[in-house]
């Protein structure tokens, strides 16, 4: 499998439109004519389209094969496999009977056990040209496409003419320069009669849509709305996030494990904080499964944090002896690699897929409890007050601890309680469920401050333990001791700031 970031723009044009001269922008080189045949796949319920994901098998062109396209911050991320990864094919490159397992793996969380079927077939006659820079680098491809598309389910044939511009490997590196190049070409195309396409996807056009995702009307929520509706909106957004982040974890994208683990933790916290809104006979088993998944993700995330922390320590103290960081960083890097492998196994397990099914079932048929029909203004504040008081009780117990190990353990419990409060407050003051205002956001921020300080202290304490163990087992003991003191000082600063953060929360009680 290979990946690349696809940044392109599409334009609708009349049947007789001709590509304008672009030679004043860059050198123009013909790139030939191609006949492209593509089959697009989805489940009967449109699970891929609902998440703006495209799966196709294309014959023709330099990148023929299996493709998956995911939404990205800019453009789309495209995964590519050769045709040979599929089932046996005849001389005419007919589509295989099923999508190869290797191709399904990145989208397993979206499709699960549901069969994938061909939903559209496209035949594209493409005439392409490249814009080439002064050093011979290919900057951009302009494709003049004439498309015949069959909507398989509806039996509808649609024919259209479009132009497509896509940045190539030699395009400028800066976002500003990339946009400037695309804008310069767009100016010429619009002057030649082109119009920005209503849809950025050929598949959507083939299905008669302007977007892959089905149209959804957002519910109007406020504090008079039932508490269950507020929380279901927040939980639904988290479940959608899990589906969005899952493929990124499988691709080992930076911070993806952390993001997935955070969504899992937020879900668990909401089921606890608002346990009077939903039936615990249903939510408790889901919580148990979320906890199991969180533990697996936590092993990878903890190793990732320690690896990055070790790198930062070495980078900030590069006057130390050369090679000092090899053992320090490589050990955690290896631990992360092993743990990420266990995460991948978990994400492909029946247990994980069953959890996703349970979350879908929960959203489709919410198990409502005693506070479900009470208004948000009636049911939410008492739940937040319970969580806030839990933080303060645990913090008071930590202050009264008789031994240092007991105190450290209770500070860890305080951190977890603050995190639960933060998640409960953010769920109802931000995003789709954000019907509460500044006061609840202030509670969330105060809880986050406590969580961050105690989390940094805990991470520093773990690194100190690792540095002591490393110093005892090899050379450079003095230098590891220097790093230990850096960490110890940082941890002390966190504890020095903690009482002030706790006072800020107490004032909000």
Residue 505, pLDDT above cutoff 60: yes
- The band of 92, judged by pLDDT with boundaries at 50, 70 and 90, is very low
Q: Which residue has the higher pLDDT, 139 or 318?
A: 139
Q: CA nearest 294: which of 265, 323, 258, 274?
A: 265
Q: Kindly state the DSSP code that residue 84 receives in the 8-state scheme.
A: G
**Reading across the β-sheet that carries 156-167, which strands appear in turn?**
2-6, 76-81, 65-71, 54-59, 27-42, 117-132, 138-151, 156-167, 8-12, 195-196
Which pLDDT score, from 0 to 100, does residue 59 have? 95
Q: Which whole number is the average pLDDT over 467-495? A: 83
Which pLDDT score, from 0 to 100, does residue 91 have? 34
What percent of the chain lies above the pLDDT cut of 90?
79
Average pLDDT, whole number, for the chain? 91
Tens-place pLDDT, residues 270-280: 999 999 999 99
Residue 66, pLDDT above cutoff 90: yes
Which pLDDT score, from 0 to 100, does residue 361 have? 96
With residues binned 3-state (H G I as helix, E B as strand, rest as coil), the percentages for the chain, rounded to 5, are: 55, 20, 30
- The band of 323, judged by pLDDT with boundaries at 50, 70 and 90, is low
Which pLDDT score, from 0 to 100, does residue 331 have? 85
Which pLDDT score, from 0 to 100, does residue 300 have? 97
Which pLDDT score, from 0 to 100, does residue 75 have? 87
Q: Do 5 and 173 form a contact (C-beta atoms < 8 A)?
A: no
- The band of 473, judged by pLDDT with boundaries at 50, 70 and 90, is low
- The band of 139, judged by pLDDT with boundaries at 50, 70 and 90, is very high
Tens-place pLDDT, residues 256-267: 999 999 999 999
């Amino acid at each position: 499998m290979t990946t690349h970031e696809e940044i392109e723009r599409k334009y609708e044009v009349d049947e007789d439109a001709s590509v304008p001269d672009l030679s004043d922008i860059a050198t123009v080189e013909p790139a030939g004519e191609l006949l492209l045949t593509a089959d697009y796949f989805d489940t009967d319920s449109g699970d891929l389209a609902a998440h703006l994901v495209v799966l196709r098998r294309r014959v023709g062109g330099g990148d023929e094969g299996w493709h998956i396209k995911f939404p990205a911050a800019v453009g789309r991320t495209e995964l590519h496999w050769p045709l040979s990864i599929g089932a046996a094919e005849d001389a005419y490159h007919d589509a295989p009977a099923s999508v190869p397992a290797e191709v399904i793996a990145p989208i397993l969380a979206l499709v699960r056990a549901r069969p994938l079927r061909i939903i559209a077939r496209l035949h594209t006659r493409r005439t392409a040209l490249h814009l080439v820079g002064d050093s011979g680098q290919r900057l951009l491809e302009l494709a003049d496409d004439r498309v015949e598309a069959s909507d398989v389910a509806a039996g509808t044939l649609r024919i259209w003419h479009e132009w497509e511009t896509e940045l190539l490997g030699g395009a400028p590196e800066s976002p500003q320069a990339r946009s400037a190049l695309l804008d310069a070409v767009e100016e010429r195309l619009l002057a030649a009669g082109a119009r920005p396409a209503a849809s950025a996807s050929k598949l959507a056009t083939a299905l008669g849509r302007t977007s892959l995702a089905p149209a959804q009307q957002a519910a109007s929520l406020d504090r008079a709305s039932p508490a269950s509706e507020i929380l279901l909106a927040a939980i639904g957004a988290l479940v959608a996030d899990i589906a969005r982040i899952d493929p990124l974890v499988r691709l080992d994208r930076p911070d993806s494990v952390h993001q997935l683990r955070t969504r899992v933790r937020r879900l668990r916290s909401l089921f606890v904080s608002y346990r009077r809104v939903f039936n615990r006979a249903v939510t408790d088993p889901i919580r148990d499964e979320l906890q199991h998944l969180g533990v697996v993700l936590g092993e990878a995330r903890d190793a990732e944090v320690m690896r990055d922390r070790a790198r930062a320590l070495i980078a900030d103290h590069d006057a130390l002896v050369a090679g000092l960081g090899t053992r320090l960083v490589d050990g955690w890097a290896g631990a992360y690699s092993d743990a990420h492998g266990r995460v991948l196994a978990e994400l492909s397990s029946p247990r994980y897929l069953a959890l996703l099914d349970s979350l879908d079932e929960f959203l489709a048929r919410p198990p409502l409890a005693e506070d479900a029909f009470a208004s948000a203004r009636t049911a939410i504040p008492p739940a937040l007050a319970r969580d806030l008081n839990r933080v303060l009780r645990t913090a008071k117990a930590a202050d009264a601890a008789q031994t240092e190990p007991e105190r450290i353990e209770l500070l860890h419990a305080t951190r977890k309680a603050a995190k639960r409060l933060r998640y409960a407050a953010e769920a109802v003051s931000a995003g789709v469920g954000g019907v509460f205002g500044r006061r609840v956001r202030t509670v969330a921020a105060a809880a986050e401050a406590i969580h961050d300080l105690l989390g940094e202290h805990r991470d520093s304490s773990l690194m100190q333990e690792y540095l002591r163990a490393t110093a005892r087992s090899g050379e450079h003991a003095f230098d590891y001791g220097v790093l230990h003191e850096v960490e110890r000082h940082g941890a002390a600063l966190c504890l020095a700031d903690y009482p002030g953060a706790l006072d800020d929360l107490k004032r909000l009680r």
